[in-house]
Amino acid sequence: MKGADKIALRVGKVLNKYKINKYYNLDITDSGFSYERKQELISEEIALDGVYILRTSADKTLMDGFEVVKAYKSLSSVEEAFRCYKSIDLKVRPIYHYKGDRVKAHIFLCMLAYYVEWHLKQKLASLLFEDEEIDDNYQDVIKASRSDSAVAKDRKKRTEDNLPVHSFRTLLEDLGTICLNTVECTLESGKYVFDKITRPTELQQKALDLLSISSICTQ
C-alpha cells in the first residue's frame, strides 16, 4: 500500500478499534509509517489501572477525600429523589398554572410533599423493601451492597415480625383502608351518634406505632 492518505486511513481504523490512538506518536509517509510509544502517558495509565478516580472542583479545605467519596455515593439518592419528584409519586409535571407565584407555590408544595415522604420512608423502613443496615463507612470506594437482613427481607417478603413487606405505595394503599365511621344508633334512652375508627390490622398498627400515631378517636 502506498500513499500517506491510504496508510493513515488503514492505521487509523486499527487505532480507533482498540482505542489506543492517544498512546502513540505516528510518522506517516507515502511509503510507510513508523510509531513511537508515549511511555510517560502509558506509565501514568498503568499506575491508575483498576483505580476509580473522583475529581472535584471543591477546595480540599472544604472536603477531604472521604467526604468527596461520601458525596459521590449520595448521588444515587439524589437521582432517585428526582425520579420520584418528576414522575413516580409526586408528578410535579404537567403544571396547570401560568402565573409565576402559583407555579412557585406548586413547586414548593411538591418539595414539601417529598420532604414528608422521605421522613415517612425512614420511619417505616422496617416494613418496606428498604435496607435498614446501610454501611456508612465511606473509606473504601467499593460498590455498595445490600445487607444480609435486606436480602432476607427481599427473599422472604416478610419482616422479622413475620409481617408482609411492602413498597411505600402499597403500604399507603393498605393504610388507606383505615376509615373514620360515623355510627348512629337509636336506643330506648335516646338517639346516639359517635365516631368509630376502623380497627387496624397488625400491619397497620405496626405502621402507626412507627409513626407515633394513635388510632384512638378523641372526638
Show pLDDT as tens, one digit a residue, over the chain (219 residues): 788 888 888 988 988 898 888 999 999 888 888 999 999 999 988 888 877 788 888 888 888 888 888 788 777 777 777 777 666 666 677 777 788 898 898 888 888 888 888 899 999 999 998 877 666 554 555 666 777 788 888 888 998 889 999 999 899 999 999 999 999 999 888 899 988 888 999 999 999 999 998 876 544
* Same domain as 81, residue 28: no
* Same domain as 82, residue 153: yes
Question: Is 189 domain-assigned?
Answer: no
Question: Is 107 domain-assigned?
Answer: yes
Task: List residues bridging with 195 in a β-sheet.
Answer: 182
Question: Is 154 domain-assigned?
Answer: yes
Question: Is 109 domain-assigned?
Answer: yes
Dihedral of the alpha carbons of 157, 84, 201, 151, in degrees to the nearest 10: 20
The boundaries of the domain holding residue 116 are 65-158
Q: Which of 111, 126, 158 is the last residue of a domain?
A: 158
pLDDT of residue 77: 73
The 10 Å Cβ neighbour count of residue 154 is: 12
* Same domain as 38, residue 105: no
> Percentage helix, strand, coil, to 5, in the chain?
45, 15, 40
* Same domain as 40, residue 96: no
For 185, the grid coordinates are 344508633
The whole-angstrom separation of Cα 169 and Cα 204 is 14
pLDDT of residue 141: 57
Structure letter (DSSP) for residue 139: S
Asked if 54 and 67 count as a contact pair (C-beta separation under 8 A), the reply is no
pLDDT of residue 216: 64
The whole-angstrom separation of Cα 17 and Cα 11 is 10
Question: Is 117 domain-assigned?
Answer: yes
User: Is the overall model pTM greater than 0.75, yes or no?
Assistant: no
* Same domain as 141, residue 72: yes
Question: Is 176 domain-assigned?
Answer: no
Q: Which of 142, 158, 174 is the last residue of a domain?
A: 158
Question: Is 118 domain-assigned?
Answer: yes
The 10 Å Cβ neighbour count of residue 18 is: 8
* Same domain as 11, residue 89: no
Please report how many Cα atoms fall inside a 13 Å half-sphere around the Cα of residue 135, on the Cβ side: 13
Those residues whose C-beta lies under 8 Å from the C-beta of residue 131, and which sit 6 or more positions away, are 146, 147, 149, 150
Q: Which of 130, 158, 186 is the last residue of a domain?
A: 158
For 15, the grid coordinates are 487505532
* Same domain as 151, residue 97: yes
* Same domain as 114, residue 82: yes
* Same domain as 154, residue 74: yes
Question: Is 204 domain-assigned?
Answer: no
* Same domain as 153, residue 72: yes
* Same domain as 151, residue 69: yes
* Same domain as 87, residue 113: yes
Number of domains in the chain: 2
